[in-house]
Amino acid sequence: MEKERHVLVVFPHPDDEAFGVSGTIAWHTGMGTPVTYACLTLGEMGRNMGNPPFANRETLPYIRKMELKEAARVLGISDLRMLGFRDKTIEFEDEDKLAAIIAGMIDELNPSLIITFYPGYAVHPDHDATGAAVVKAVRQMPENRRPKLHCVAFSKNAIEELGEADIVHDISAIADQKLEAIKAHRSQTELMVADMAEKLKIGDPVTSVWLNNERFWTYKF
Protein backbone atom coordinates (compact mmCIF):
# COMPACT_ATOMS: atom_id res chain seq x y z
CA MET A 1 0.00 0.00 0.00
CA GLU A 2 1.17 3.50 -0.77
CA LYS A 3 1.42 6.17 1.89
CA GLU A 4 -1.44 8.59 1.21
CA ARG A 5 -1.91 12.26 2.04
CA HIS A 6 -5.50 11.78 3.25
CA VAL A 7 -8.01 8.98 2.69
CA LEU A 8 -11.74 9.65 2.29
CA VAL A 9 -14.05 6.65 2.73
CA VAL A 10 -17.68 7.05 1.60
CA PHE A 11 -20.24 4.32 2.33
CA PRO A 12 -23.97 4.39 3.06
CA HIS A 13 -24.27 2.15 6.14
CA PRO A 14 -22.57 1.50 9.47
CA ASP A 15 -20.59 -1.76 9.02
CA ASP A 16 -19.94 -1.21 5.27
CA GLU A 17 -16.46 -0.11 6.27
CA ALA A 18 -15.89 -3.13 8.50
CA PHE A 19 -16.39 -6.00 6.09
CA GLY A 20 -14.44 -5.00 3.00
CA VAL A 21 -11.98 -2.25 3.86
CA SER A 22 -11.30 -2.14 7.61
CA GLY A 23 -7.88 -3.73 7.25
CA THR A 24 -6.94 -1.14 4.63
CA ILE A 25 -8.25 1.67 6.84
CA ALA A 26 -6.31 0.35 9.84
CA TRP A 27 -3.12 0.18 7.78
CA HIS A 28 -3.50 3.82 6.73
CA THR A 29 -4.27 5.08 10.23
CA GLY A 30 -1.41 3.00 11.59
CA MET A 31 0.89 4.81 9.17
CA GLY A 32 -0.35 8.14 10.53
CA THR A 33 -2.50 8.97 7.51
CA PRO A 34 -5.69 10.88 8.37
CA VAL A 35 -8.83 8.97 7.37
CA THR A 36 -12.25 10.57 7.08
CA TYR A 37 -15.23 8.21 7.03
CA ALA A 38 -18.42 9.74 5.64
CA CYS A 39 -21.30 7.38 6.50
CA LEU A 40 -24.51 8.45 4.81
CA THR A 41 -27.08 6.71 7.06
CA LEU A 42 -27.39 5.01 10.44
CA GLY A 43 -28.67 1.78 8.89
CA GLU A 44 -31.94 2.25 10.75
CA MET A 45 -33.81 -0.11 8.40
CA GLY A 46 -31.45 -3.01 9.06
CA ARG A 47 -33.17 -6.34 9.63
CA ASN A 48 -30.92 -7.61 12.43
CA MET A 49 -31.68 -6.60 16.00
CA GLY A 50 -28.95 -8.60 17.73
CA ASN A 51 -28.94 -12.24 18.73
CA PRO A 52 -30.64 -12.59 21.12
CA PRO A 53 -32.41 -9.36 20.18
CA PHE A 54 -31.40 -6.30 22.20
CA ALA A 55 -32.69 -3.63 19.80
CA ASN A 56 -36.01 -2.69 18.26
CA ARG A 57 -37.03 -0.49 15.37
CA GLU A 58 -37.01 2.61 17.61
CA THR A 59 -33.67 2.00 19.30
CA LEU A 60 -31.75 0.51 16.38
CA PRO A 61 -30.46 3.80 14.89
CA TYR A 62 -29.07 4.90 18.27
CA ILE A 63 -27.43 1.53 18.83
CA ARG A 64 -25.93 1.48 15.35
CA LYS A 65 -24.61 5.01 15.87
CA MET A 66 -22.76 3.87 18.98
CA GLU A 67 -21.49 0.76 17.19
CA LEU A 68 -20.20 2.91 14.34
CA LYS A 69 -18.33 5.15 16.77
CA GLU A 70 -16.75 2.11 18.39
CA ALA A 71 -15.68 0.67 15.02
CA ALA A 72 -14.15 4.03 14.12
CA ARG A 73 -12.24 4.01 17.43
CA VAL A 74 -10.96 0.49 16.80
CA LEU A 75 -9.73 1.51 13.34
CA GLY A 76 -8.17 4.78 14.44
CA ILE A 77 -10.58 6.95 12.43
CA SER A 78 -10.54 10.38 14.04
CA ASP A 79 -12.86 12.10 11.54
CA LEU A 80 -16.20 10.28 11.45
CA ARG A 81 -19.00 12.10 9.66
CA MET A 82 -22.61 10.91 9.83
CA LEU A 83 -24.43 12.66 7.00
CA GLY A 84 -27.98 12.01 8.21
CA PHE A 85 -29.60 10.46 5.15
CA ARG A 86 -32.28 7.81 5.64
CA ASP A 87 -31.41 4.16 5.18
CA LYS A 88 -32.69 2.51 1.99
CA THR A 89 -33.45 5.86 0.34
CA ILE A 90 -30.07 6.84 -1.13
CA GLU A 91 -31.16 5.62 -4.57
CA PHE A 92 -33.98 8.20 -4.47
CA GLU A 93 -31.80 11.15 -3.48
CA ASP A 94 -30.92 13.80 -6.05
CA GLU A 95 -27.58 12.54 -7.37
CA ASP A 96 -26.37 16.07 -8.15
CA LYS A 97 -27.06 17.14 -4.57
CA LEU A 98 -25.27 14.12 -3.15
CA ALA A 99 -22.33 14.58 -5.51
CA ALA A 100 -22.10 18.24 -4.46
CA ILE A 101 -21.85 17.22 -0.78
CA ILE A 102 -19.07 14.78 -1.61
CA ALA A 103 -17.34 17.37 -3.81
CA GLY A 104 -17.41 19.76 -0.85
CA MET A 105 -15.62 17.21 1.33
CA ILE A 106 -13.05 16.61 -1.40
CA ASP A 107 -12.39 20.35 -1.64
CA GLU A 108 -12.05 20.58 2.14
CA LEU A 109 -9.90 17.49 2.73
CA ASN A 110 -7.86 17.23 -0.49
CA PRO A 111 -7.65 13.42 -0.26
CA SER A 112 -5.17 11.53 -2.39
CA LEU A 113 -7.38 8.42 -2.22
CA ILE A 114 -11.15 7.87 -2.05
CA ILE A 115 -12.68 4.47 -1.24
CA THR A 116 -16.31 3.68 -2.07
CA PHE A 117 -18.50 1.09 -3.81
CA TYR A 118 -18.23 0.41 -7.54
CA PRO A 119 -21.59 1.61 -8.92
CA GLY A 120 -23.56 -1.22 -10.49
CA TYR A 121 -21.49 -3.95 -8.84
CA ALA A 122 -22.25 -3.56 -5.13
CA VAL A 123 -25.57 -5.46 -4.83
CA HIS A 124 -27.56 -3.03 -2.63
CA PRO A 125 -29.27 0.04 -4.23
CA ASP A 126 -27.83 2.29 -1.48
CA HIS A 127 -24.34 0.96 -2.26
CA ASP A 128 -24.66 1.59 -5.98
CA ALA A 129 -26.18 5.05 -5.54
CA THR A 130 -23.42 6.10 -3.13
CA GLY A 131 -20.72 4.92 -5.51
CA ALA A 132 -22.38 6.67 -8.43
CA ALA A 133 -22.47 9.98 -6.54
CA VAL A 134 -18.79 9.67 -5.59
CA VAL A 135 -17.85 8.88 -9.19
CA LYS A 136 -19.83 11.90 -10.37
CA ALA A 137 -18.12 14.20 -7.86
CA VAL A 138 -14.65 13.03 -8.93
CA ARG A 139 -15.51 13.06 -12.66
CA GLN A 140 -16.41 16.74 -12.41
CA MET A 141 -12.92 17.60 -11.17
CA PRO A 142 -10.09 18.61 -13.52
CA GLU A 143 -8.34 15.42 -14.55
CA ASN A 144 -4.99 16.48 -13.09
CA ARG A 145 -6.56 17.09 -9.66
CA ARG A 146 -8.54 13.88 -9.29
CA PRO A 147 -7.65 11.63 -6.34
CA LYS A 148 -7.31 7.91 -6.91
CA LEU A 149 -10.68 6.17 -6.66
CA HIS A 150 -10.61 2.60 -5.32
CA CYS A 151 -13.94 0.77 -5.48
CA VAL A 152 -15.33 -2.29 -3.72
CA ALA A 153 -17.34 -4.69 -5.92
CA PHE A 154 -18.89 -7.99 -4.90
CA SER A 155 -21.82 -8.69 -7.21
CA LYS A 156 -21.79 -12.08 -8.93
CA ASN A 157 -20.98 -10.52 -12.31
CA ALA A 158 -18.22 -8.19 -11.04
CA ILE A 159 -15.21 -10.25 -12.12
CA GLU A 160 -16.86 -11.34 -15.36
CA GLU A 161 -17.53 -7.73 -16.41
CA LEU A 162 -14.77 -5.78 -14.66
CA GLY A 163 -12.02 -8.37 -14.68
CA GLU A 164 -10.04 -9.34 -11.61
CA ALA A 165 -9.45 -6.67 -9.00
CA ASP A 166 -6.30 -4.73 -9.84
CA ILE A 167 -5.53 -4.04 -6.16
CA VAL A 168 -5.35 -6.76 -3.50
CA HIS A 169 -4.16 -5.82 -0.01
CA ASP A 170 -2.82 -8.56 2.24
CA ILE A 171 -3.98 -7.34 5.65
CA SER A 172 -3.25 -10.56 7.56
CA ALA A 173 -0.90 -8.71 9.93
CA ILE A 174 -3.82 -6.61 11.18
CA ALA A 175 -6.64 -9.12 10.68
CA ASP A 176 -7.34 -9.06 14.43
CA GLN A 177 -8.09 -5.34 14.17
CA LYS A 178 -10.43 -6.03 11.26
CA LEU A 179 -12.25 -8.66 13.34
CA GLU A 180 -12.63 -6.18 16.20
CA ALA A 181 -14.17 -3.63 13.81
CA ILE A 182 -16.63 -6.26 12.60
CA LYS A 183 -17.46 -7.24 16.18
CA ALA A 184 -18.11 -3.59 17.04
CA HIS A 185 -21.25 -3.75 14.87
CA ARG A 186 -22.68 -6.29 17.29
CA SER A 187 -26.36 -5.82 16.41
CA GLN A 188 -25.61 -6.90 12.84
CA THR A 189 -22.66 -9.26 13.11
CA GLU A 190 -22.88 -11.39 16.26
CA LEU A 191 -24.06 -14.57 14.53
CA MET A 192 -21.71 -14.06 11.61
CA VAL A 193 -18.70 -13.57 13.88
CA ALA A 194 -19.48 -16.80 15.74
CA ASP A 195 -19.77 -18.68 12.45
CA MET A 196 -16.56 -17.12 11.18
CA ALA A 197 -14.68 -18.13 14.32
CA GLU A 198 -15.74 -21.76 13.82
CA LYS A 199 -14.65 -21.72 10.17
CA LEU A 200 -11.29 -20.17 11.02
CA LYS A 201 -10.79 -22.79 13.74
CA ILE A 202 -11.08 -25.60 11.18
CA GLY A 203 -8.94 -23.74 8.64
CA ASP A 204 -11.66 -22.96 6.11
CA PRO A 205 -9.69 -21.46 3.18
CA VAL A 206 -12.53 -19.30 1.82
CA THR A 207 -13.04 -17.54 5.16
CA SER A 208 -9.30 -17.10 5.61
CA VAL A 209 -8.85 -15.55 2.16
CA TRP A 210 -11.81 -13.21 2.72
CA LEU A 211 -10.54 -12.09 6.11
CA ASN A 212 -6.93 -11.55 5.11
CA ASN A 213 -7.33 -9.98 1.69
CA GLU A 214 -9.17 -6.83 0.58
CA ARG A 215 -9.84 -6.27 -3.12
CA PHE A 216 -10.37 -3.03 -4.99
CA TRP A 217 -10.97 -1.96 -8.55
CA THR A 218 -9.40 1.33 -9.62
CA TYR A 219 -12.14 3.37 -11.28
CA LYS A 220 -11.03 4.46 -14.74
CA PHE A 221 -12.76 7.52 -16.14
Q: Which pLDDT tens digit goes with each residue over 165-178?
A: 999 999 999 999 99
> How many other CB atoms are there within 10 angstroms of residue 32's CB atom?
8
> pLDDT, tens digit, for every residue of 60-73?
999 999 999 999 99
Q: According to the model, what pLDDT value does residue 183 have?
A: 96
Alpha carbons within 13 angstroms on the beta-carbon side of residue 36 total 19
Phi, psi of 46 (to 5 degrees): -60, 145
pLDDT band for 13, please (50, 70, 90 cuts): very high
> What value does the mean pLDDT take over residues 55-59?
94
Picking from 122, 117, 110, 92, the residue whose alpha carbon sits closest to that of residue 146 is: 110
Q: According to the model, what pLDDT value does residue 213 have?
A: 97
Residue 51: pLDDT over 90: no
Q: According to the model, what pLDDT value does residue 47 have?
A: 87
Q: According to the model, what pLDDT value does residue 205 have?
A: 93
> Which sequence spans correspond to the domains of the chain?
7-218
Share of the chain above pLDDT 90, in %: 92
pTM higher than the cut 0.95: yes
Q: According to the model, what pLDDT value does residue 38 have?
A: 98
Q: What is the distance between the terminal CA atoms of the chain, rounded to a whole angstrom?
A: 22
> What value does the mean pLDDT take over residues 73-79?
97
Q: According to the model, what pLDDT value does residue 61 have?
A: 96
Q: According to the model, what pLDDT value does residue 52 have?
A: 87
Alpha carbons within 13 angstroms on the beta-carbon side of residue 130 total 29
> pLDDT, tens digit, for every residue of 200-217?
889 999 999 999 999 999
Per the DSSP assignment, residues forming a β-bridge with 38 are 10, 81
Q: Is 25 exposed, middle or buried (0-12, 13-18, 19+ CB in 10 A)?
A: buried
> pLDDT, tens digit, for every residue of 86-136?
999 999 999 999 999 999 999 999 999 999 999 999 999 999 999 999 999
Q: Is 213 exposed, middle or buried (0-12, 13-18, 19+ CB in 10 A)?
A: middle
Residue 209, C-beta contacts closer than 8 angstroms, at least 6 positions apart:
none
Supply the CATH classification number for the domain 7-218: 3.40.50.10320
> How many other CB atoms are there within 10 angstroms of residue 195's CB atom?
11
